[in-house]
Amino acid sequence: MSTRPAPLERPWRLATLVLCWLMIVWCVQESAPPHPQDPTDPARFSARRAHEELVRFVGDGTPRSVGSAGHGAAKERLLSRLREIGAAPTTHRFFARGWNRSAVEMHNILVEVPGREATEAPLPVLWAHWDGVPSGPAAGDNGVGVACALESIRALVANPPPRAVLVVFTDGEEVGLWGARRFAEEHPWWMRAGAIVNLDARGSSGPAILFETGADAAAHARLIAAVDAPVCSTSLAAEAYRLMPNNTDFTVAVRTGRPGFNIAFIGSPRNYHTANDRVDQVEIATIGQMGSTALALLRSLAAGSPPMPTSGDHAAWTRTSGVPLQRGTVWFNALGGPIVRWDGWISIALLVLSVLGTVAAVRRCSDVPLCAILRDALLLLAGLALAASIGWTFSIVSRWIAPDSFPWPAATSAWVLMAVALGAVATWAPRLIAWRLNPRSGVTATAGSVPAVVGLWSTMIAANALSILLAAVVLIIAPGAVYPLLLPAVAGSAVLLLIVGRARLPDAAACAAVLLAIAAWAPLEGMFHDAFGTALGIVSCLRGALVALPATALIMSVSPR
């Protein structure tokens, strides 16, 4: 005679669904750039003043591509404004290949903001390219970066930091990073440069994301978590960007071994490099978050906080073209809010604990045969493969339906959410079909004092084991991106171990894993949406699949048979 295990009560299931929804709403709200306040302290960054600088710099909206009349006029506006705010700009003149493939004259514009103390130590550098593309006013890319740099100069002059700060408005970024490259190759200030803070854009709205750092990830993460600013950052973005072919001026800093931070916003990507990249398309909240983050980082670096180098470190950099990438540190905005970070060894420890917890649960739940766990793991793996296939098809279909606006067609959010939902359903489909076709997979069995509904336990154990396996692969390939997979695996294995042998269904473990999955993935949804749109449907479908994976046992437990 079989013993019926006590299910997770329906109110708890309902509470889990409500909590998931509240977490998603909260993460979406917190991931948006905060509404800027106009500070009374002149040493603080003012988004309103920076917006005024943007209007002044962009002028009548004439494109400022290198070699054009608008380019020369923008240079004079920038030099004039720097003198008005009390700076003493100098120019670094050079020739490089422009838009028509012929050499044109370009100018980096340099400013040194004095510090309170004289020092021979390396100095922090703020970079922002001031050239644009021929197709539009380039208000977002990179007028906002220039405006934030101008407002930061004013704030630094009002309250000087311990060390001086070097500000470099680079030229020729859009045609090959020429300004940053020539500055590093030719200008004597490069020998004084320590950590770099670079400002750029690929859109005109949304959060300002700190998406790339220098080599010492641990030191960079500590400073990211410590600064008094609304930082939006994740080590997953840093790992993803490392695998992409994109470049910014900060690429020059990375190749020469400098530490530092790369900040950009990517909202409203349809405006990028078009005539729509106008001042009226730029969100003032975006300006506020970018500028306040950059200024906070500069003040900390000017106080000597790591990863700001010592003189010895700086001397070593002059003899090398780069340093090994030290990865593994994890950091992210918890539920879209404060930064959480941990070192790479903690990821390894959590993975080991997840493995041990799942193995211990399997050993104690002797009713569930290993062949059933292996069968369910293969079914769930087939679901992930199906989700990837649907995602690939989704990208092709979206390009076919809206070729002129691909990959950001009208109502892009609806398209992306559809792909996420398809990925979730595809993950559940093979196991649910098998569940319906084989009634014996859900029989109750008893071994000693450990009752188990075999089908549900085998599915939950298989889902958790598969999550651990995927986390292990990511930990090897891109360790900073492991946390959205690792956190659900830890939660699932911990609850599995707690409830095994207590006459309960494993849907409690599924609830815990799903909550952690949503907490990890929801703050990233806007970034994925703006970064890829419908171009990488595989990524969208797999996001839904990875959230759905631990929920399979929960879905089965409430499905009629």
What are 74's strand-pairing partners?
A: none
Q: Provide the 10 A C-beta neighbour count for residue 10.
A: 9
E strand segments, 98-150: 103-113, 123-129
pLDDT score for 452: 44
Answer whether 324's CB lies under 8 Å from 299's CB. no
Q: Find the range with the poorest average confidence among 25-29, 275-279, 315-319, 484-488.
A: 315-319
**CATH hierarchy code of domain 47-342:** 3.40.630.10
* pLDDT of 342: 96
pLDDT of 320 reads 41
**Is the confidence at residue 1, as pLDDT, over 50?**
no
User: Which letter, b or e, does each residue of 36-60 get, where b requires 16 or more Cβ atoms within 10 Å of its Cβ?
Assistant: beeeeeeebbbbebbbebbebbbee
Q: Over range 50-72, report the average pLDDT.
A: 96
Smallest Cα–Cα separation from 235: which of 202, 207, 210? 210
Q: Which residue has the tokens 């990028």?
A: 272
Query: Taking residues 413-434, what's their average pLDDT?
Result: 93
Q: What is the pLDDT of residue 102?
A: 87
Report pLDDT for 383.
Answer: 97
Residues 6+ apart with CB under 8 A from 387: 422, 423, 424, 426, 427, 541, 542, 544, 545
**DSSP secondary structure letter of residue 192:** G
pLDDT digits (tens, 9 = 90+) for 380-406: 999 999 999 999 999 999 999 989 889
CA 167 to chain centre: 26
- On the question of pLDDT at 353 being above 80, the answer is yes
The predicted-structure confidence for 96-151, as pLDDT tens digits, reads as follows: 999 988 899 999 999 999 999 988 899 999 999 999 999 999 999 999 999 999 99
Distance of CA 310 to the CA centre of its chain: 29
Q: What pLDDT score was predicted for residue 317?
A: 52
Query: Residue 263: pLDDT above 80?
Result: yes
Provide CATH 3.40.630.10 ranges for the chain: 47-342
Q: What is the pLDDT of residue 499?
A: 85
The percentage of residues in the chain with a pLDDT greater than 70, rounded to a whole number, is 91
Residue 448's pLDDT band, with cuts at 50, 70 and 90, is: very low
The total number of residues written for the chain in this structure: 561
Mean pLDDT is lowest, of 35-39, 280-284, 419-423, for: 35-39
Give the pLDDT band of residue 3 (cuts 50, 70, 90).
Answer: very low
pLDDT score recorded for residue 446: 41
* Element housing 475 (H / E): helix 454-477
**C-alpha span between 45 and 81 (Å, rounded):** 17
> Side chain identity at 550, as an amino acid letter?
P
Q: How confident is the prediction for the chain on average, in pLDDT?
A: 89
Q: Is the pLDDT of residue 15 over 90?
A: no
Contact residues for 400 (Cβ-Cβ < 8 A; gap 6+): none
**pLDDT in the model for residue 440:** 55
**Cβ atoms within 10 Å of 185's Cβ, excluding its own:** 11
Q: For residue 141, what pLDDT is reported?
A: 96
Does the pLDDT of residue 447 top 50, yes or no?
Answer: no
How many angstroms separate the CA atoms of 513 and 290, rounded? 34
- pLDDT at residue 281 in the model: 97
**31 has pLDDT over 70:** yes
Q: Is the pTM of this model over 0.85?
A: yes
Check residue 4 and give its pLDDT. Answer: 46
State the pLDDT at residue 503.
61
Pairing status of strand 123-129 against strand 193-201 = parallel
* DSSP helix/strand/coil, 490: helix
* Mean predicted confidence (pLDDT) in 372-376: 92
Mean pLDDT of 473-491: 96
